[in-house]
Chain A
Amino acid sequence: MRAAGWTLTVSVRERERWPLRRGGACPARPTIGSLSTVCVLCYGRRVVSDSVRTAQSFPGDWPEGCPPGEAAPCAGDYYRIVRGELVTSEDLRSHRELGKLPSAPPCLRAGLSTFRTLDDAERMALLFPVLGGFVARGALNDDYGVSMLTPGRQPSHTTVWPYEQTHRAEPFRQVSSVRRSS
């Protein structure tokens, strides 16, 4: 799903979750705001209210086609390697925001690396102490952003692209320490 200007394209699955409702708030997405005329998402590509556009948009300076069309709304548990027991927004900044490695693939630079299993995250924390000695679990939903499995050699590696207004650290409350055996 991607917000661009005044249009919002959604998948069939998303449309099914957001039923037709004329002139009022969508019961499935109460936090997003009211719709301008009808819950047009049920019909596919239509005009939506400004509040929807703001809450679920990505930064305008991201590369064209980013996030990729294959990315789906976040759903379920995601694990992120962090540096301390209290997760802050600093733990969830992208390479793009930090100005790192400008020659890396531009859309991946805009996303955040997470894992869908604790085991994968812990293994990477053990391999790369530079990333941090803790793993934070976040239960994310479609308000957070979109994600896509980007496995490489790590089977559950998943890139998350948060919406511009998302409080990124907020869901990552459960943190565990990764212990190195002697």
Chain B
Amino acid sequence: MSTIWDVAGREVDAGFFGTFEPAEVLIDIDGPRLFVARTVDGDDLLVYQVAEAEGRYGWIVVPTEARSIERVREGEVALLDALRQPWVWIVTQSFAGALEGARRVRFDDLPPASLPADGVTVVDAVQPFLAVRAKGPTLTSRDVPASVVRKVVDGAMHAMKALIEHALEMSPPEGRPSDRLRRYYDLPTQRLAFGSFEAVFGEPVAPNEQPLLSSEKLALDRAGMLLRRGIAALQQEVVGGDGAEIDPELGVALDALSGLLPPASGAVEEMQIGGRLVGDSSVRLSREHGVRARKYMRRMRPAVEALVVQGLVRELDKDAMTFIVRSADLTQEWPCRFSSAQRDDVFTAFAEDTPVAVSGHRRAGKPQVEVLAIEVV
């Protein structure tokens, strides 16, 4: 088995690394294991202990800068990702502290078993709002199809939209929901990680913004509870029990989860979802969970009506992302809810006052049409 000492490389002058004294120790376990050092020119280096044998240390050294160090320190980036560069230096140092040599090697030549485990950070970053990871044997750091990236991002957006809309219906906010509610559907992305694919989303409200209104907090809490209810239901062999009764709220939860479940075939075999919205620990969702959810959704389907309505967009609420279509003779009207993807089409139809055909679906007992498409007729 190859070791770090055997990795072929080009010798370089160890004098470049200066005193190799830690300027900042990031991890100390019986001595520094990860630290920042400075070159003779004062540039920052990230130094990681990779080996130890026969009276000497082996260090991986990579160039770095303040922001990258901050991201390692705060757990925003996995240590392996911080070290991963096309080439790195291996510096050998005696136990007494003297530098014995340095060579430049290709990162890909380093034995993986000597490196930090994939995805592990120095500390737990502040728990994200929502984290979604797609896993599968063929999903490696260099081979993540765009369709997988889209599934993760679309799945998260769809889940948030379904959950928040339901939560707001259950407890409408006093006055109009603020414009920033839209961010629930379009959460700020904090991090993307490859080698499996993970997207991590932050809070919908940035720290320097006005805090959430109590009604917004309530909606968010309800959304989380609903999501957890859906996850708990999927742990049962028969979702919702053996009874024929359909629970509309469970249907909303499973609809929200539908984009976060692994498809029956393809590269993604498992999805992991975590973050504050999900609870204390992340949850693994398998294809079996997907089968269970789809089975329940099929039972629900008759309760959903597909329809196409025609008319003019006469009222538009940009904040609530709703509009009203009125028929040309003003005898009928349909309240509709749209997503951010349809925003431009809706705004144009409203501004130009042109007749449109709106296709979508409506749940039994609900007046609102969930818009799938809007076209000028």
Contacts and interface: CB of A to CB of B under 8 A. Distances in A.
Interface string B21-46: 10001111111111000000000000
B122 A127 contact: yes
B25 A152 contact: yes
Interface in A101-156: 101-104, 108-109, 112-113, 123-124, 126-131, 150, 152-155
Contacts of A99: 95-96
Contact of A102 (B51, B96, B119): B96
B73 A128 contact: no
Q: How large is the interface on B (under 10, 10 to 19, 20 to 34, 35 or more residues)?
A: 20 to 34
Given A124-B29, A153-B122, A98 B95 contact: yes
Interface stretch (B109-117, B152-160, B164-172): B109-117
A168 interface: no
Interface in B271-328: none
Interface in A141-182: 150, 152-155, 157, 180-181
A15 interface: no
Contact of B29 (A98, A131, A155): A131
Given A99-B96, A101-B97, A94 B27 contact: no
A124 B49 CA distance: 12
Interface string B117-133: 11110110000000000
A109 B31 contact: yes
A81 interface: yes
B190 to A, nearest CB: 20
A95 interface: yes
Given A101-B95, A124-B29, A153 B50 contact: no
Nearest to A112: B30
Contact of B123 (A94, A95, A153): A153
A112 B113 CA distance: 25
B27 A154 contact: yes
Interface residues of A, number: 30
Contacts of B253: none
Contacts of B29: 81, 113, 124, 128, 131, 154, 157
A182 to B, nearest CB: 8
Q: By CB atoms of chain A within 10 A, which of B25, B28, B51 has the most?
A: B28
A126 B79 CA distance: 10
Interface of B: 21, 25-34, 49-52, 73, 79, 95-97, 113-120, 122-123
Interface of A: 81, 94-95, 98-104, 108-109, 112-113, 123-124, 126-131, 150, 152-155, 157, 180-181
